[in-house]
A = this chain, B = another copy of it.
Amino acid sequence: MHLVSASTPTRPVPDGPDARARLARAAVEAFAARGFHGTTTRDISTAAGMSPAALYVHHRSKEELLFELSRAGHERVLEMVRASVAGTDDPVQQLGGVVEEFVRDHAVVHTGARVINYELAALSDEHLAEIVEIRHQIDLVVRDVIDRGVASGAFETPDPHMTALAVLSLGVDVARWFRDEGRWSPDQVAAHYRVLALRMVGVT
């Protein structure tokens, strides 16, 4: 991570302009390791090098902190997915490319992706609705690619909608099982999953 700046020499460690970023990183690590309810505000603030009360200078509540992490993460993924398909008009290249990027990302930032995908139940109804809408937009991008591939005859699948869901599902679940110390690099997994996804739509 490149979030730690050199900062001013007059204020060595405790506070500074990167305090929010330190809190965010500490929260992601803790939420991913122990879940939202298994993480205390003291866990987060201590890991960020602050007192418990400092968390409330930057965030209204523990839930709002989770929401902000979740929204930022989802928006980043949505932009990534949209940018990926914008590179070409060929559904085969689009599906292959978006799967490869999506999977690589979920492997590289698997800690953050775990929080984003598996802590949704801890959000308030209003916040959850906002996140669900972004997820729907991500869904639409992949569904559109597969629909156009089927229409052009490049793809063949009995239920394009379910296949789109399955492709995304495959990518999301990478965040659950991927380990940094495992035998495969994010690039290796991404390349393999590109082939798998294309086979799922009948491209051989």
Contacts and interface: CB of A to CB of B under 8 A. Distances in A.
A70 to B, nearest CB: 15
Nearest to A119: B35
A33 B173 contact: no
Contacts of A35: 35-38, 121-122
A173 B165 CA distance: 11
A55 interface: no
Nearest to A200: B196
A93 interface: no
Contacts of A33: 121
A109 B186 CA distance: 32
A203 to B, nearest CB: 10
Interface in A148-204: 158-159, 162-163, 165-166, 169-170, 172-174, 176-177, 184, 188-189, 192-193, 195-196, 199-200, 202, 204
At the interface, is chain A mostly helix, strand, loop or mixed? helix
A204 to B, nearest CB: 6
A136 interface: no
Given A170-B169, A173-B170, A189-B162, A122 B38 contact: yes
Closest 7 CB pairs of A and B: A37-B37, A37-B38, A173-B173, A169-B173, A199-B199, A196-B200, A162-B192
Interface of A: 33-38, 117-118, 121-122, 158-159, 162-163, 165-166, 169-170, 172-174, 176-177, 184, 188-189, 192-193, 195-196, 199-200, 202, 204
